[in-house]
Amino acid sequence: MYPGRQTEHGRTYADNGFGSGEERRMRAIRSGRLAVAAYSLVGSGALAQVAADPSVREIPGVREFSGRVLVKHRPDRDMATDRARHRLDRWRLGRIEPLDLDIVRVPAGMSDVGFIASLACDGEYEYVVPDWIVYPAGRESDDPQLDSQWHHAVMQSRRAWEIGTGSPDVVVALVDTGVDTDHPDLQDARVCGYHSVGQCPFDCPEDECNEGGAVEDINGHGTATAGCAAAIGNNGLGVAGMGWNLSIMPVRASDQENGGAFHSDVLQGIVWAASHGARVVSVSFGCVEIPTNDEVGEYVMSKGGLLVWALGNAGINFDFESPHYITVGGTREDDTWYNGNFGPAMDVSAPARNIFTTKRGGTYSTFTGTSFAAPLVSGTLALMFSEFPDLTPRQAEEYLLESAVDLGPVGKDNRYGVGRVDAYRALVTAAVGGLPPATIISPPCEEEDGTLIQPDDPPTPREWPGVWARHYFIKDITGLPDFGSLKPFESMIVASIGTEEPRTTSRRQPPSAGRVYETTVYVDSSDAHLVVLRTDGFSRLLIGDRCVAMNEPGGDEAQTSLAAVWLDEGWHRLRLEYLNPSGPARVSVAIEPLHAHKHSPVADTGLRRASSAILRADWTLDGSLDAEDFFAYLESFGGADPRADLNTDGRVDADDFFAFLDLFTAG
C-alpha cells in the first residue's frame, strides 16, 4: 500500500518504475476484463466478496497491484495443506520462511483480485493478500534553508541527553531506500546492512555475495530517516539524531529511483534486521495495516526488538489491531495534528513537519511526513534500550506510550494516539519503573452538602483553601474499606493533612478510625517527582485516579513508601485514604521534584551519619552532582546493593534513601 506519492520541490513522479500512468490505466482495464472472466473459475459470490473488501481495493498513487500476492499457509500440516502448498509451486517466486509466507506470481490471464478470490474460496490458506507496491511515506520540504531541528525542543531531547546519548551496542535498522554511506553525519555510525531485493548482505562477516548487497541510497528517503533516528551528535557537523552514538543498520528494500518497493521485500528486510541484532526496526513505507505486519512484528519481538511503522499521510481512517508493532502518526510545530492518516489504529504520534535532517549527497534539508516521525520514535526507543539494556520489548513499548504527552481529548484518540512522544519523559519513566504520568484535574471550587463541585469546562484552576478531611467509624479493621460506600460522621476543612483532632457527634461514636483527605496540589513545572507517604496504619495515596503509594501497619513504627511519578505542570487532585488501628494518627505526605535536589523532611529518620568520605552523593564518581547520580543510586537502592546502606545499619531502606537525598541537597 502507498501512504502517498513522494514529491520533491512540488514535482510528482509520473513513472514509478513499475509502469507509466498510462500503462497502469491499461493494466487496470485489463484487470477489470479478466476479473469478469474469472467469475466462471471462482464464482461470482467469492469474487464480489473479495472485490468489496476495502483492504484489497487499489488506490492509484497510494497502493497499486503488482501482479504478485502473499499467501499465508495454515499452521496444521496434513495431506490437504501439503496439496495446497504444492499447488502454488509453478507460480512461487520465493518464500519468507520465518513467517511461512509464499510470494506468488499471479497467473497469466487472471487479475490480482480474481487470483486472490480463487485461492480464498478454497479455504485452504490462512489468508491471501496483494503484494502491494509501496512508496516512502514522506517528502522533502520546499524550504531547504530551515536550519533548526525544532522537534528536539518539543521532544525534550536535550534533557534526555543529560541522562544518556545512546550506545553503539544498540542497533537501529532503517528498512528504507538505503543510506548515503559517505554522509559525514552517518558513515561512522553505520554497521553491516542488507539489500532485501537481491537478498544479499552488505559489509557483513557472513557476506557471500561477490560484490556485497546494494545499500547505497537509491532515492534519498532512507538517508533522511537515518538522520532522524541516529545522526552522529556532538561532532561539530550538521545535525543530531535522537541518539548521538547509536549504530545504523541500512536495509534497502527498493531498487526504484522513486523509492517504490514490494511489500514482500520490506518484510524480508525486517526479518533479516531482527535476525542480525537490530533492537529497533523502523519502517516508513506503506502497507501499515496488512495483517502480515503483526506477524513480522511478533518475530522482531521474539528477537528482543521492536518494530515501528509510519502510519502514512493519505488522510485514511485506519481501524486495525497492531499488538506487535507500534504505529506512528504526525504532529506539527505547535503540537497540533499533522493531517496524515488517523483513526483507532494510531498508537502514538511524533513531529512530522519540516524535520531538518540528513540529505543524500552529504548535505541537509527539511522533510515532511510520518516517514520522519517513525524514526524519531525509533531513536527514542533506542535511547531507552541504551540506558536500560535489560528492558524487554514490551516494557520499552509500555514506558514509551505511558510517558507520551497527551494531546487532544483526554486519553487515547484518533489523531494523536496516546499522545506525542517525549524522549526525556520516556527515559525517566523507564528509570523509575514505568509509573505513568498522573492525571491533571482542576481543583474543586465550592462545597455543597459535603460534595466537591468541579468548575465548568474548561476549568479555571485557582487555589483551594486547605484540605477536606472526612472521618469514618470502622468497626472491623482488617484493611482499607471502600470509603465510597460509607457515610462519614464528620467532615471538615483543615490546614494540612493529619493536623485535625476529630470531633464526635454523639457519645456513642468513638474517635475516627478511618479518614479520607482530599486536596489539590499545584506543580509549577513538568518533571519527575518523588512522592513520600509516611503513616502508621493502612494507607493509600492517589494522584488523579492512580494509586502511587500504599502502606500497611508495621508495629509501633511508621511505614514509609517512596514512589517516583511524572507530574505535568498544573493542578493535580490528591486523595489519601487512611485507617488507623489504634492510637493517634501519624500521617504525612511530601511531593518534591527529583531534579530540585531537595526534599521536605517527613519525620526523624534517625540517621547515623558516617564520615563524609563515605557519604558522597556523587554516585557515578564523575566529579559532579547531576541526574545520573540520582538514577544510579536509585538503581542500587532498588537492587538492595550493600553500597546503598548509607547509614550502615545493615539494611537498605527508606532511611538510606533520605540520607542520600540529604547529601544530594548539600551538594
- pLDDT digits over 413-427, tens only? 999 999 999 998 888
Angle between helix 112-120 and helix 44-52 axes, rounded to 10 deg: 120
Q: For residue 425, give the H/E element and its range.
A: helix 423-431
Q: How far is CA 605 from the centre of its chain?
A: 39
494 confidence band (pLDDT: 50, 70, 90): low
- Nearest-angstrom CA–CA distance, 423 and 386: 13
Give the Cβ contact number of residue 51 at 10 Å. Answer: 15
pTM: 0.63
Question: What pLDDT does 284 receive?
Answer: 94
- Nearest-angstrom CA–CA distance, 626 and 620: 9
Of 70, 75, 76, which Cα lies nearest the Cα of 88? 70
Grid coordinates belonging to 14:
509520473
- Nearest-angstrom CA–CA distance, 327 and 312: 9
Grid coordinates belonging to 309:
511503522
- pLDDT digits over 31-78, tens only? 333 332 333 334 455 566 776 677 787 776 667 889 999 999 888 767
- Per-residue pLDDT, averaged over 574-590, amounts to 75
- Tell me what the pLDDT averaged over the chain comes to: 76
- Nearest-angstrom CA–CA distance, 17 and 35: 25
For the beta sheet containing 139-140, the strands, ordered from the edge strand earlier in sequence to the opposite edge, are 11-12, 7-8, 139-140, 363-368, 355-359
- Per-residue pLDDT, averaged over 581-603, amounts to 54
- DSSP bridge partners of 551: 539
Question: What pLDDT does 665 receive?
Answer: 64
Question: What pLDDT does 18 receive?
Answer: 46
Grid coordinates belonging to 241:
539524531
On the question of pLDDT at 519 being above 60, the answer is yes
Question: What pLDDT does 656 receive?
Answer: 73
On the question of pLDDT at 454 being above 60, the answer is no
DSSP codes of every residue in 466-501? SEEEEEE--SS-SS---GGGS--SEEEEESSTT---
Question: What pLDDT does 495 receive?
Answer: 66
Question: What pLDDT does 146 receive?
Answer: 36
Angle between helix 393-402 and helix 370-387 axes, rounded to 10 deg: 120
Give the Cβ contact number of residue 28 at 10 Å. Answer: 15
- DSSP bridge partners of 576: 517, 541
On the question of pLDDT at 445 being above 50, the answer is no
Question: What pLDDT does 30 receive?
Answer: 35
- Nearest-angstrom CA–CA distance, 447 and 468: 10
On the question of pLDDT at 517 being above 70, the answer is yes
- pLDDT digits over 276-317, tens only? 999 999 999 988 998 899 999 999 999 999 999 999 998 999
Portion of the chain with pLDDT greater than 70, in percent: 71
- Nearest-angstrom CA–CA distance, 516 and 468: 8
The region of weakest confidence among 81-90, 393-402, 598-607, 646-655 is 598-607
- pLDDT digits over 123-182, tens only? 788 888 899 888 877 554 333 333 579 999 999 898 888 888 999 999 999 999 999 999
457 confidence band (pLDDT: 50, 70, 90): very low
Question: What pLDDT does 483 receive?
Answer: 85
Angle between helix 393-402 and helix 292-302 axes, rounded to 10 deg: 110
State yes or no: cis peptide before 458, omega within 30 of 0.
Answer: yes
Grid coordinates belonging to 205:
562477516
Question: What pLDDT does 449 receive?
Answer: 43
Grid coordinates belonging to 646:
548509607
Of 280, 263, 305, which Cα lies nearest the Cα of 228? 280
Q: Which distant-in-sequence residues (6+ apart) come within 8 Å of 249 by Cβ?
A: 171, 172, 173, 174, 190, 191, 192, 193, 194, 273, 276, 277, 278
On the question of pLDDT at 645 being above 80, the answer is no
CB 629 within 8 A of CB 617: yes
Question: What pLDDT does 462 receive?
Answer: 34
On the question of pLDDT at 198 being above 90, the answer is no
582 confidence band (pLDDT: 50, 70, 90): low
More confident residue, 65 or 530: 65
On the question of pLDDT at 508 being above 50, the answer is no
More confident residue, 162 or 187: 187
Q: For residue 86, give the H/E element and its range.
A: helix 79-87
Of 132, 135, 136, 108, which Cα lies nearest the Cα of 58? 132
The region of weakest confidence among 210-214, 483-487, 521-525 is 210-214
More confident residue, 647 or 4: 647
Highest mean pLDDT among 5-19, 252-266, 494-508: 252-266
- Nearest-angstrom CA–CA distance, 167 and 235: 15
On the question of pLDDT at 250 being above 60, the answer is yes
On the question of pLDDT at 502 being above 60, the answer is no
- For residue 73, give the 3-state DSSP assignment: strand
DSSP codes of every residue in 606-650? ------TTT--S-TT-SSS-SHHHHHHHHHHHHTT-GGG-TT-SS
More confident residue, 152 or 119: 152
**Between the CA atoms of 200, 202, 204 and 210, what dihedral angle is there, to the nearest 10 degrees?**
70
Torsion sign across C-alpha atoms 609, 614, 620, 625: positive
DSSP codes of every residue in 255-310? -STT--EEHHHHHHHHHHHHHTTEEEEEE-BS-TT-THHHHHHHHHHHTT-EEEEE
